[in-house]
Amino acid sequence: MPETLVFGKPTALTEVPTHYCPGCTHGVIHRLVAEVLDELDLTRRTVGIAPVGCSVLAYNYFATDFHEASHGRAPAVATGIKRARPDLIVFSYQGDGDLASIGLSEVLHCANRGEKVTVIFVNNAIYGMTGGQMAPTTMPGQVATTCPLGRDVEQAGYPIRIAELISTLRTPAFVARASVHSPLHAVHAKEMIRRAFRCQKEGRCFSLVEVLSTCPTNWGIPPAESLTWLEQHMLPYYPLGVFKTPEGPDRAPLPLFGGA
Amino acid sequence: MPETLVFGKPTALTEVPTHYCPGCTHGVIHRLVAEVLDELDLTRRTVGIAPVGCSVLAYNYFATDFHEASHGRAPAVATGIKRARPDLIVFSYQGDGDLASIGLSEVLHCANRGEKVTVIFVNNAIYGMTGGQMAPTTMPGQVATTCPLGRDVEQAGYPIRIAELISTLRTPAFVARASVHSPLHAVHAKEMIRRAFRCQKEGRCFSLVEVLSTCPTNWGIPPAESLTWLEQHMLPYYPLGVFKTPEGPDRAPLPLFGGA
Amino acid sequence: MAKKLMKGAEAMGEAAIQAGCRLFFGYPITPQNEIPEYMSARLPQVGGTFVQAESEVAASNMIYGAAGAGERVLTSSSSPGISLMMEGLSYIAGSELPVVVINIMRAGPGLGGILPAQGDYFQATKGGGHGDYRCLVLAPWSVQEAADLVQDAFDLADYYRNPVLILGDGLIGQMMEPVEFKADRRPCKPLAPKTWASTGWKGDRPRAIINSLFLDPEALERHNQKLAAKYAAMERDEKRVAEVGTDGQYEVLVVAYGTVARVVYTALDDLRQAGVRAAMVRPVSLFPFPYEAVRRAAEKAKAVLVAELSTGQMIEDVRLAVEGRVPVHFIGRQGGMLLTPEDIAARVRELAAGEGSHA
Amino acid sequence: MAKKLMKGAEAMGEAAIQAGCRLFFGYPITPQNEIPEYMSARLPQVGGTFVQAESEVAASNMIYGAAGAGERVLTSSSSPGISLMMEGLSYIAGSELPVVVINIMRAGPGLGGILPAQGDYFQATKGGGHGDYRCLVLAPWSVQEAADLVQDAFDLADYYRNPVLILGDGLIGQMMEPVEFKADRRPCKPLAPKTWASTGWKGDRPRAIINSLFLDPEALERHNQKLAAKYAAMERDEKRVAEVGTDGQYEVLVVAYGTVARVVYTALDDLRQAGVRAAMVRPVSLFPFPYEAVRRAAEKAKAVLVAELSTGQMIEDVRLAVEGRVPVHFIGRQGGMLLTPEDIAARVRELAAGEGSHA
Amino acid sequence: MPQIVIDAEGCKGCELCVHACPQNILAMGTNLNSKGYFYARMVEPMRCIGCRLCCITCPDVAITMRVSGTMYHYFAY
Amino acid sequence: MPQIVIDAEGCKGCELCVHACPQNILAMGTNLNSKGYFYARMVEPMRCIGCRLCCITCPDVAITMRVSGTMYHYFAY
Amino acid sequence: MAQHDVVIAGFGGQGVLLVGKMLAYAGMRENKEVSWFPSYGPEMRGGTCNCTVVISDRPVGSPVVQHPSAIIVLNLPSLDKFEPLLRSGGLLCVNTSLIHRQPRRDDVRVVAVPANDIAIELHNPRGANMVALGAYVGSTGAVSERVLEEVIQETFAGKPGLVEANLQAFRRGVAIGRGESTQEVTA
Amino acid sequence: MAQHDVVIAGFGGQGVLLVGKMLAYAGMRENKEVSWFPSYGPEMRGGTCNCTVVISDRPVGSPVVQHPSAIIVLNLPSLDKFEPLLRSGGLLCVNTSLIHRQPRRDDVRVVAVPANDIAIELHNPRGANMVALGAYVGSTGAVSERVLEEVIQETFAGKPGLVEANLQAFRRGVAIGRGESTQEVTA
Ligand SMILES: Cc1ncc(C[n+]2csc(CCOP(=O)(O)OP(=O)(O)O)c2C)c(N)n1
Ligand SMILES: Cc1ncc(C[n+]2csc(CCOP(=O)(O)OP(=O)(O)O)c2C)c(N)n1
Ligand code: SF4
Ligand code: SF4
Ligand code: SF4
Ligand code: SF4
């Protein structure tokens, strides 16, 4: 009987095993991106940009040309590459410390200039690589090594919601949030990633997909329970869905009360 | 007959004449801030922070202790001062190049941590001090020395609306936009500035007032016409009013379409 | 207080607290995360404040603000993060503010690696930021010395109104050793009240303007010369150096700083047992560099060997000290690889035997 | 092409375009705004792209990206902005990418002033960022030379896959002089195709990974040594120096770079007429520094005078060159104040007369 | 009676007050001050209604207002 | 028929697939692989419905699926 | 003379940089070696501002000149600053419209130009700089008047209305510089 | 012996840093000079990781030791890396639960410890590091077993359940180290 491979490694991934911790969903997100690149036939003209963070070694895992970026500056690097070679498909893959903390300015300006690049933003509510420090996305009360008593919103404020923030800029084409805490959500996440890359393929400007992800090691929660933790603690604060589309309305809020 | 001074220099301003160009409304905004400090009896415990920009010499004009900050980092400097001395009233005074371009990350994080400081953000849609380069707030089509054919939204995107952006963060207490292109608007602007400082005086967290301002020299438009230009070109894109109050709702936009 | 086994990073954090520092602003980076982590737990216990800055750029401006308001303040980072502080440090030096900055160096350039190195010597000592300024730079070789120098750093910073940089070489941050904090420690400098600090102007003193802008070039030149005079005073008064065996006879002088000097120390031990005569000068202050001590010790030797975890940076200062009187050789490892006592001993032996002049 | 009267800043921009640079990323700062302004008008005319970066930090990472994609790229700034690029430059050097960076120095430290200075010599030549890396540094003394060096800089950057820094001393950016662009200019180095660039991987070459991360310390050490070998090759092949009167007899040798050397030139003229014998060495490449040329010329003099618009930075390299054979003196102005021919002549006269050894 | 005083040396000649005045009683003068600006001046002091719009408008706080006699009620701002 | 193959060396023992499988036919094994992980294994291959949820879930692409014979229609994702 | 060096100084907005550039252009057209170097404060308008122009038969050494052979000062702070630096025997062009004090040096040649007054008279209030430039050129012959008039024509080619106005202003200055029309320095 | 220096190496997550620290604590309690120095890759879990502990009668010179007098290797990459560096005559503690090759050196003492197997057997699967530490201490006497048991008690004071489990694991290791209970190195 003929045998068909119905699920295997996408060609946009290399054979190198990842260094991610057991159960860390960075691996799932890598695969979804790679599958999309393959499906849209972009793999051979794509340049990826790895952040500083757990996914710093992404260049070992994606079978495309790659840049390592300095911490937080991947969107600036993306700008440089895309402006130099508009024919390339350029994406950055960034964690929440990288994008929402040190790199907040770069991603907002890249979005606001309307660079024709795609940002995959992995929000795991903590700094993974450096061992579990608080991120701007850390949940209120969540313990991290630099907030050992839990994030205190009086001292550190509330978590930043990147998809919301960026979608209020007028320029960017596509902004969405997805999650990979269940296979069903992964399917949706892939659809969001596909739409983002399709935007770029069609010559539209900036697209970003925020993907909620787990960090079992630094959360100190076993992998399967981490998925539940994400669902229970992160989902309510980080709603999933499409925040901005190329055709959609200007999403900047109006004043509560007008002036003068 | 007894004579009463009904309009004079507030004590929070020094006698030093400003270096601002004729008709530049930086001077008006200085005076409004100074009047508020006097009226709220804060002058003697206030520390201001000057940006790099036309208002770099603000420390010569305000009769309070002052810090000069490196370009864009005034909110970080404010954080340092306020955390060191929570009893002080701390405000930064920043232009749009300073705050919206190089310093975007600092102001957003300062706002998001909920630092108990006040930011006066002077949006004159251009870089004044360095001679008229494009700012993130420059209007589409507006000519500047680094967009000699006018701002091209295809290349540089749409102007950033800071009040809108910051008001979608959950933490900050008060965010408003005002203008000083007419006396009436100046009266409203002062009310916004007053509310911002009152927030700080009451121990609430971050407040920001964006004030639309003119730059006759670099716009290349005489002062009086500049006021009209502001009204006609900037007001429609930069609506005035209160965007966030301490009591008000969470202003983060919801997804256009929900996910998974 | 009794001795405690502590990581260098934690010992430095505790030392800052003992020195009266109640404010820490910093951003995580390996291999010094233990400093912010320690501070985030400890500072609230002593009424202090820990703020995780959004970046090192922000951190360098937060300490600028806090120092300007008159408080003792610390930040720490590692090489790439310190590079991001260059503008901020230049402002701090230009505004004459006292801050303490710890750099636990890792291997570069760029992202490099997270293992120990000493490649930031130039940046630290010559001023990686723009303009004519200097940081006072101290380089500990043990956890105990790290703790002691951090405490001194706060006094020196306040006395000179200048940034003080603790240059740890990566081993020092991660290593654990016993450390003791003296309860009765006195400031190492006489300290004046900070009347220049911005604390709200009530008319009873000149307004406090924390600033490095001077539009009048003559005023800026006077300011530059005032700074230069301050750096000259440091060069006169703040040189710190440790010497091993320089009072005896020796053929080779080894110059090394930080934990590399420990490796040299072990090598000298081995060499002595083997009958090879060598001595060591260990600069503890890197700016001001102890040129005089190095020159004096070098003149007694027939060769000088500089040992660094870099491709050779301090060697320029050693050559400036020696001025061609004695040949100066180099031994280094890079990339996080460490020099071993064996490496050093072998090279010293070569030089003592009059070989190795090929370097 | 005919001579045109151009500002140094604009001439440098035009030179970049003539050298095939079609990409500029930068952020405004006085006194070099004319470069981005020029590029924003000119680049679209030649099919190029100008992007006003949101900050110098971003600009340094944009050029990293563009260079990694194989294109010639330029950024420019002035002192505080260059300090913000230190992390980025270290990454670029570590990833071995060719970029050209122009620093039109102003007076520091901190915000300082906007007038000309030379206080960033250490930062430029020793590496203001972290880790063991070097930029190739060229310092023009006229608008024409500025244009020529910018063109060479692109060739040198490509050849060595290394950042090249044009260190303008503030006068050079603002000054207007006639300048000529040669239509038939040839690259100053043989250039290979950029097969290492990230242009999409089609399987026909190894994957392009633009990167400075090496987790294996042995690999990072090999990388450091490869870089060191490259810098050594520059030291062998890329030294540039101009000399005035060093073939004759003289008592005092003046060493100066950039437009300060123009001032010295005028002073030497005046001195010659007054019968005082002096000569000048002008380093054009600051890294690699022309140690040998300075040493040779110094040995003929009874005193060396280093003239800088700083409190003394290049003087260390001069002292490393001279190694104590001849006394080395310093004359400088700071803060945007300029040395005048009179200042220099007076000091040379003193030294020729055997006075002035107090410095 | 409201009394408007324009500081000739502090005025930069921007003309904003002239446009702001609802009574149209301010005008630019024809003398230069020491900084080279033609400064504003009050043309018809008797028609001044004391609204302070010129004061509020002046970016250089070059206009002050005194009142002699009865105090009006001014809008707070 | 769907055929699930788990790469023992690629598996990190996270157990996510075990929880993802609607048929409950995957389990953690008791052998260590060379990296020191107990790896997952298929317990009842015959009951596999070929939904690919385990494949989609595995962060390490350690699970592949082949089909022999008639092709099912899989949901696109 | 082998080298003309002049400092032109005034407020920002008075156009001192522009006339300096025009002078340098004219020198270049005459195949001289030239350099132009500006210096200004942070204000866009109203701050002080000056430039140094060197026109020489030999390559220009220092583009900055401590003791220039001429100065053109359009406002009082500039007179205060540069008068002491003027070379002995040099030329001092002073804008008497805005400067109401007498020069203090007695070892220099003074040309008094009521530049703003003349400009206003010519209905070209921003042309005071041209008047002063004319006075300098008329008095020194640093470049030929004809060549400078060509430069004026080119400079304002885009705004034809200004060409004639500025030529007039320039010529009025030249006349004063030549001594054909003198004016008292008003006290 | 004046100085004990040991490298403890394995995967991240195997607890090699922790047992190194415990060893150093024990040394300090015995009034020895001690140092502990870690080295690890960027992975939180699964990467390789090691630490060097020096226990000495004199001040510790280099905290990094090229040729240690003992190594404790918990996985194969660590054996491959450190076996060649072990000092001649030194001690090699090898975790035979995960390492299925024979040591190559014949000039060193080998203690084979099926650390994971014993830990699993004790229902303390994360205690393999303790077993290995025990083997080292039992074999070298670098510190006294009693003092190390005190350190174990303190270390896990917060989680009383773990104290006994880890003491047991440690003691099983000690027994092997002392040679009271040997196990074959399984191939
Ligand atoms: C300039 C600079 N600052 C700090 C670091 C240290 N650092 C490396 S990764 C990281 C944060 C990683 O967290 P995140 O971006 O959330 O990614 P994750 O590891 O969670 O995937 C930090 C702070 C660095 N390498 N460079
Ligand atoms: C790090 C750094 N980059 C750039 C500059 C140059 N610079 C000074 S002010 C300024 C922008 C001023 O514009 P804006 O903030 O809009 O204020 P305005 O002058 O319009 O009031 C710039 C780019 C600087 N001083 N430092
Ligand atoms: S107070 Fe009112 S009416 Fe009087 S001058 Fe001013 S604007 Fe005119
Ligand atoms: S608004 Fe002020 S500065 Fe402007 S013209 Fe009137 S008085 Fe003068
Ligand atoms: S394909 Fe579906 S049923 Fe089969 S093993 Fe995977 S999850 Fe279970
Ligand atoms: S999800 Fe993958 S890595 Fe995790 S246990 Fe299953 S097969 Fe192994």
pLDDT digits (tens, 9 = 90+) for D217-273: 999 999 999 999 999 999 999 999 999 999 999 999 999 999 999 999 999 999 999
Choose one of E1, E16, E18, E21 to mutate for the ligand 3 pocket test, by most ligand atoms within 8 angstroms of C-beta: E21
Domain count, chain F: 1
Measured between CB atoms, does D58 come within 8 Å of chain A?
yes
Q: Which ligand is in closest contact with the Cα of A183?
A: 5
Given a cut of 80, is residue G185 above it in pLDDT?
no
Looking at residue H45, what is its pLDDT?
56
Q: Note whether A76 contacts D: Cβ–Cβ < 8 A.
A: yes
Q: Does F32 touch chain H (CB under 8 A)?
A: yes
Distance (Å, whole) CA D306 – CA D332: 8
**Among the listed residues D303, D276, D306, the one whose alpha carbon sits nearest the alpha carbon of residue D289:** D306
Tell which one of F6, F11, F42 to mutate to probe ligand 6, the residue whose CB is within 8 A of the most ligand atoms. Answer: F11
The answer to whether position B207 is within a domain reads: yes
Residue of A nearest to D198 (CA): A65
Q: How far is B137 from chain D (nearest CA, A)?
A: 12
Mean pLDDT of G155-173: 93
Residue G11 predicted with pLDDT over 90: no
Q: Output the CATH code of domain G3-176.
A: 3.40.920.10
CATH code, A47: 3.40.50.970
Across the range A24-43, mean pLDDT stands at: 98
Mean pLDDT for chain D overall: 96
Q: Minimum mean pLDDT among B169-173, C92-96, C114-118: which range?
A: C114-118
Residue E36's pLDDT is: 79
User: B172 in a domain, yes or no?
Assistant: yes
| H14, H50 contact by CB (below 8 A) | no
Position A36 pLDDT exceeds 80? yes
Determine, yes or no, domain membership for A200. yes
Answer yes or no: is pLDDT of H39 > 90. no
Strand partners, C146: none
Q: What is the pLDDT of residue C330?
A: 98
CB contact under 8 A, E36 and G76: no
Segment G97-117, tens digit of pLDDT: 999 999 999 999 999 999 999
B9 lines ligand 2 (CB under 6 A): no
Expressed as residue numbers, the domain containing A112 is: 26-249
Query: Nearest-CA neighbor of H38 among H58, H54, H59?
Result: H54
Question: What is residue G184's predicted lDDT score, i.e. its pLDDT?
Answer: 41
* G75-95 confidence digits (pLDDT tens): 999 999 999 999 999 999 999
H87-105 mean pLDDT: 95
pLDDT at A3 over 90: no
* CA-proximal residue: ligand 2, atom 21 (nearest): B54
Residue nearest to atom 4 of ligand 6 (CA): F14
pLDDT by residue (tens digit) across D320-341? 999 999 999 999 999 999 999 9
Ligand sitting nearest the alpha carbon of E21 = 3
Residue B58 in domain: yes
CB-hemisphere CA count at 13 Å for D233? 11
pLDDT of residue F35: 82
Beta bridge partners of G36: D176, G53
Q: Which CATH homologous superfamily contains domain D4-198+210-237?
A: Thiamin diphosphate (ThDP)-binding fold, Pyr/PP domains (3.40.50.970)
Instruction: Give residues with Cβ within 8 angstroms of B51, minimum separation 6.
Output: B58, B69, B71, B72, B74, B92, B93, B94, B95, B98, B99, B103
pLDDT at D359 over 50: no
Judging contacts by C-beta atoms under 8 Å, the chain A residues touching residue D91 are 70
Q: Is C64–B105 a contact, with Cβ atoms under 8 angstroms apart?
A: no
- Residue corresponding to tokens 């000298």: C268
Instruction: Return the partners of chain E (3 or more C-beta pairs < 8 Å).
Output: B, G
Q: What percent of chain H has pLDDT over 70?
A: 92
User: Please, what is the end-to-end C-alpha distance for chain G in angstroms?
Assistant: 34
Ligand 6 center from residue A235 Cα (angstroms)? 24
pLDDT at G43 over 60: no
- The mean pLDDT of chain C is 96
Comparing CB atoms, the residue among A22, A56, A57 nearest residue H45 is A22
Give the closest residue (by CA) to ligand 2 atom 4.
Answer: D29
Residue A217 in any domain: the answer is yes
What pLDDT sits at residue B10?
97
pTM of this structure = 0.96
> How do the domains of chain G map onto residue ranges?
3-176
DSSP state of C345: H
Residue-level pLDDT at D189: 98
Q: How far is the CA of E13 from the centre of ligand 4 (A)?
A: 5
B130:D80 CB<8 A: no
pLDDT of D357 strictly over 70: no
The number of domains in chain A is 1
Identity of the residue in A49, A56, A83 whose CB atom sits nearest the CB atom of D49: A83
The shortest C-alpha distance from B27 to chain G (Å) reads: 14
Residue E10 resides in a domain = yes
| Ligand 4 touching residue E4 (CB < 6 A) | no
SS in 3 state form for chain D? CCCEEEEHHHHHHHHHHHCCCCEEEECCCCCCCHHHHHHHHHHHHHCCEEEECCCHHHHHHHHHHHHHCCCCEEEEECHHHHHCCHHHHHHHHHCCCCCEEEEECECCCCCECCCECCCCHHHHHHHCCCCCCCCEEECCCCHHHHHHHHHHHHHHHHHHCCCEEEEECCHHHHCEEEECCCCCCCCCCCCCCCCCCCCCCCCCCCCCEECCECCCHHHHHHHHHHHHHHHHHHHHHCCCEEEECCCCCCCEEEECCCCHHHHHHHHHHHHHHCCCCEEEEEECEEECCCHHHHHHHHHCCCEEEEEECCCCCHHHHHHHHHCCCCCEEEEECCCCCCCCHHHHHHHHHHHHCCCCCCC
Find the farthest-apart pair of alpha carbons in chain H and give their distance in angstroms, rounded. Answer: 43
pLDDT tens track for D57-112: 999 999 999 999 999 999 999 999 999 999 999 999 999 999 999 999 999 999 99
Pick from C27, C33, C50: CB nearest A131: C33
Q: Which atom of ligand 2 is nearest to the CA of B100?
A: 15
DSSP strands (E only) in H106-149: 109-113
Nearest CB neighbour to G63, from listed D115, D178, D262: D262
F71 CA → ligand 5 middle, Å:
16
CB contact under 8 A, F55 and A7: yes
Q: Provide the shortest C-alpha distance from residue E3 to chain B (in Å).
A: 9
Q: Which domain holds residue F17?
A: 2-72
What pLDDT is attached to residue A164?
Answer: 98
Distance CA C209, CA C203 (A): 13
- The pLDDT mean for chain F works out to 92
Is the pLDDT assigned to residue E71 strictly greater than 80? no
Q: How confident is the model at residue A73 (pLDDT cuts 50, 70, 90)?
A: very high
Q: Is the pLDDT reported for residue C225 higher than 80?
A: yes
| Within-domain flag for B8 | no
Ligand 4 centroid from CA B20, angstroms: 12
Which residue among A93, A130, A133, A215 has the greatest number of ligand 1 atoms within 8 angstroms of its CB, and so is best to mutate? A130
Interface test with C, best of D126, D130, D322 (most C CBs within 10 A): D130
Q: Any residues with Cβ below 6 Å from ligand 5, and which? A: F 2, 4, 20-23, 25-26, 48-54
C180 vs G41, residue with greater confidence: C180
Determine contact: B83 vs chain C, CB below 8 A: yes
C-alpha G76 – ligand 4 centre gap (Å): 23
- Nearest chain H CA: its distance from C257 CA (Å): 13
Of the residues B16, B19, B55, B59, the best mutation for testing chain G's interface (the one with the most G CB atoms within 10 Å of its CB) is B19
pLDDT class of E58 with cuts at 50, 70, 90 = very high
Q: Which whole-number Å values give the CA distances from E5 to C234, D279, E9, E26, H92, in the listed order?
A: 56, 65, 12, 11, 94
3-state SS of H3-34 is: EEEEEEEEECCCCHHHHHHHHHHHHHHCCCEE
Region of poorest pLDDT, from A34-43, A46-55, E25-34: E25-34
From B56's Cα to the closest Cα of chain G, the distance in A is 9
> Which residue ranges have their beta carbon within 6 Å of ligand 1?
A 52-55, 71, 95-98, 122, 124, 126-130, 135, 215; C 27-29, 56, 80-81, 84
Minimum distance, in Å, between the CA of residue G61 and any CA atom of chain D: 5
E67 assigned to some structural domain: yes
Closest CA to D210 of A49, B9, C254: A49
C-alpha to C-alpha distances, A196 to A48, A61, A209, nearest whole angstrom: 14, 21, 7
Contacts of D111 in chain B (CB under 8 A): 52, 56, 68, 70
- So what's the pLDDT on residue H184? 41
Spans of all domains in chain C:
4-198+210-237, 241-352
F16 lines ligand 6 (CB under 6 A): yes
Alpha carbon H12 to its chain's center: 14
From the options 3.40.1180.10, 3.40.50.150, 3.40.50.920, 2.120.10.30, give the CATH code of D241-352: 3.40.50.920
Q: Is the CB of F6 under 6 A from ligand 6?
A: yes
d(CA G72, CA D14): 32
Nearest bound ligand to the CA of residue A162: 1
**Does residue B176 have its Cβ closer than 6 Å to ligand 2?**
no
- Calculate mean pLDDT across residues F40-54: 95
| Digit-coded pLDDT (tens) for B251-260 | 999 999 988 7
| C and E make contact (3+ CB pairs below 8 Å) | no
